[in-house]
Amino acid sequence: MATAAAASEIEQIAPYLWEIPKSGEMRVPARIYATEKMMADIRADKAPQQVANVAHLPGIVKASLAMPDIHWGYGFPIGGVAAFDVDEGVISPGGVGYDINCGVRLMASRLTRSDVSGSLHRIVDELFERVPTGVGSSGALQISRNKLKQAVRGGAQWAVKEGFGDPDDLAFIEENGCIDSPDPDAISEKAWKRGVPQIGTLGSGNHFLEFGYVAEVYDQAAARALGLELDQVTVIIHTGSRGFGHQTCEDYLSVMDRAMNKYGIDLPDRQLACAPIRSPEGQKYLGAMRCAINFAFANRQVIAHNTRLAFEHGLNVGPRDVGLRTVYEVAHNIAKFEAHDIDGDVREVCVHRKGATRAYGPGSPEIPQTYSEVGQPVLVPGDMGRYSYVLVGTETAMTETFGSTCHGAGRQLSRRKAKKAAGGRDITGELEKRGIIVRGASRGTINEEIPEAYKDVSDVVDACEMAGISRKVAQLRPLGCIKG
């Protein structure tokens, strides 16, 4: 097994950029975006070693990168970004994560904070009724195996054709809600069984559906382009491919482990199990991963549809009065083929983003024309007690990070430690006193997700802005939230 470079050798190379220099069998340097204050906690975590380990992967270009919300993950750190040459590089499930296409949709309404202030409990109850939550949750949509196969081919586009949502939603979803070349034949029987009952469900862990309001606007022009204004009611949906994606990752980790022996790939961590992109194993995983990507797109589309219904029933008004439209939806656990400038030469690479968000700059043909002048919307959830942020991508991100930025607050307490910190407290009651109504699948779930379990997302967002890889547009504060 290859020897890992020492992650202790971290040096600052720019005001908000740190580097583990290329050494030993590292093919590129490892770089971390963070403030000096944040680096104290980052250094204490195992994640910097993981950033260095990723730098050993065959075909990696430029650098192994990590965003300010970096923390330890499986193989790649959460917050990791890496791009690979399509001919000489590899594809690694650990660089995508178990929850393939976990991502975030932001919706904005015609409602203001005052319009919903007397109905928070009713809206939360309606959401909890219509969007199943928790481990193994099911029941939002009853479909056959054949219908699920249609869903993994068509993603959000399939959901719209089935009557869930508006065709206008599709233009404001990454990949228009459907990635090309899924391979249903690459999916296991166990994944199909897990996936059939779970379209339209939120799931467990840090997944949530939250409604709130625009509390601050930092960039008026960008906010206008995105259709955001002060006190406007917004919705954030954070979930992914559920058991279907988890099982798909699990299935292919063993395939990749065998492939490393077959292709003579030697790495410092077996959790980085991978296969050459062009290999049969690599192509099979890509086809399966794309099925899970489309599952997640369909899942969020159905949830968005049911969220609209929850608001209409909770407020006893019609669709026009609510006016919930999709601002944007982004993935943050994904691998995609994209064109980027590599040492002055624009070429196709396979970009892995694990706990990182695409952040394309102004003028990119990959983003809706509506947002072309300001850049791609970037959605960065915080925790259920504080705030989330809307950002936009930048040209600097395009040149430095393969058009990538942070994806969230990042945990600072494990779930076990969060439960211990919650102790005998009434977390739901504490949040209600602050004007935030929360419902979860269980008290334990809510205790695992206490606000102090997460870093302050404003620190993460500020670090990205100061590094120039995204730009703040607005802050959103919660009013109601359902948790898995």
| Residues annotated as part of the active site | 407
Report the C-alpha gap between 451 and 121 in whole angstroms.
20
Tokens 């404003």 -> residue? 458
Question: Whats the size of the chain, residue-wise?
Answer: 484
d(CA 348, CA 353): 15
Contact 107/213 with Cβ under 8 angstroms? no
Six-digit token string for 166? 């508006």
Closest CA to 331 of 371, 378, 288, 367: 378
HSE-up of 32 (CA within 13 Å, CB side)? 34
**What is the per-residue DSSP string for 210-265?**
EEEEEEEES-HHHHHHHT--TTEEEEEEEE--HHHHHHHHHHHHHHHHHHHHHHT-
Q: 411 and 79 in contact (C-beta within 8 Å)?
A: no
Give dist(CA 419, CA 422) in Å, integer: 5
Q: Can you tell me the distance from the alpha carbon of 31 to that of 358, in angstroms, rounded to the nearest whole number?
A: 17
Strand partners, 64: 30
Q: Is 214 helix (H, G, I), strand (E, B) or coil?
A: strand
- Of 213, 135, 207, nearest to 436 by C-alpha is 213
Residue with tokens 């000489």: 88
271 alpha-carbon distance from chain centroid: 20
